[in-house]
């Protein structure tokens, strides 16, 4: 199942960051229960297929078999086999990491089902997997510093982001709204400076980092340009605005060193 396998690994979603729950302690409200009308044995076959799809992906190396099963069980228990079948989804679809669910599947789910699925993923340790994936050394893409990693984990573990988690995992491609919401989480967590630093050849000073994060945190055109940049939708004008704003935070020595980081 392509989306669960690839988008749980939010390093690709967040490094370009959108290609991007620890804890039940963040889940203050208990989810409502959705009862499946299928036999438990059939449910088990679907869970096994979904878990296979998660673990088979080359992008899911950091996910343990236990986590893969937990994510898969969350899907089947909340979304239900009946809805899968009605949408034309098969066990083969779930077990194949290269296949997406139907385009309108996520949008067709009732709001309470999306909330329940997101809550179940959080209880499975969704944020912990995310934080591991975006830790330095875990991917070749842009990465967040320790503070931003923890903050992103906390945000994705909060009740407010349960529907967002569901939408990103079940839709064939992240919507513009989902991209903007996730990018906003990064900016609010003070992560933009570390993303910038991971793509240049020098280390930012504390003052430079604080200046960059302050500029993109404030509501306005620079923040919108940063969100578009993370989501890969920035126009030429937005890119120039963002670049000018970021460069104004750098020392003259660092401005002279601007350029992509060598591999």
Token duo for residue 209: 């980092």
Q: Are residues 38 and 120 in the same domain?
A: yes
Last residue of a domain, one of 132, 148, 175: 175
Q: Is residue 182 a part of any domain in this protein? A: no
Q: Is residue 183 a part of any domain in this protein? A: no
Q: Is residue 262 a part of any domain in this protein? A: no
Model confidence pTM above 0.85:
no
Give the per-residue pLDDT at 40.
80
Q: Is residue 245 a part of any domain in this protein? A: yes
Token duo for residue 16: 């370009």
Give the per-residue pLDDT at 1.
53
Total structural domains within the chain: 2
d(CA 250, CA 263): 23
Length of the chain: 263
DSSP state of 159: G
Give the per-residue pLDDT at 59.
60
The answer to whether the beta carbons of residues 161 and 118 sit under 8 Å apart is yes
Residue ranges, the chain, pLDDT below 50: 3-38, 138-141
Residue span of the structural domain in which 157 resides: 2-175
Task: Please measure the distance between the N-terminal and C-terminal CA atoms of the chain and give it in whole angstroms.
Answer: 31
Give the per-residue pLDDT at 43.
92
């Amino acid at each position: 199942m392509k989306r669960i396998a690839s988008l749980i690994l939010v390093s690709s979603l967040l490094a370009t960051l959108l290609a991007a729950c620890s804890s039940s302690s963040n889940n203050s409200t208990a989810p409502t229960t959705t009862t499946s009308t299928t036999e438990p044995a059939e449910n088990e076959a679907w869970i096994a297929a979904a878990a296979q799809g998660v673990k088979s992906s080359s992008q899911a190396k950091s996910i343990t078999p236990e986590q893969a099963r937990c994510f898969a069980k969350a899907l089947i228990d909340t979304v239900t086999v009946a809805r899968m079948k009605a949408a034309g989804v098969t066990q083969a679809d779930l077990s194949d990491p290269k296949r997406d669910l139907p385009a309108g599947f996520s949008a067709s789910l009732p709001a309470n089902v999306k909330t329940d699925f997101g809550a179940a993923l959080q209880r499975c340790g969704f944020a912990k997997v995310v934080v591991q994936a975006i830790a330095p050394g875990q991917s070749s893409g842009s990465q967040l510093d320790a503070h931003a990693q923890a903050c992103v984990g906390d945000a994705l573990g909060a009740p407010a982001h349960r529907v967002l988690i569901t939408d990103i995992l079940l839709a064939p491609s992240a919507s513009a709204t989902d991209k903007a919401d996730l990018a906003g989480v990064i900016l609010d967590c003070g992560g933009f400076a570390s993303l910038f630093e991971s793509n240049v050849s020098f280390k930012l000073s504390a003052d430079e980092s604080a200046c960059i994060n302050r500029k993109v945190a404030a509501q306005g055109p620079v923040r919108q340009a940063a969100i578009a940049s993370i989501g890969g939708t920035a126009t030429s004008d937005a890119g120039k605005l963002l670049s000018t704003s970021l460069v104004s935070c750098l020392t003259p020595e660092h401005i002279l060193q601007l350029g992509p980081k060598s591999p």
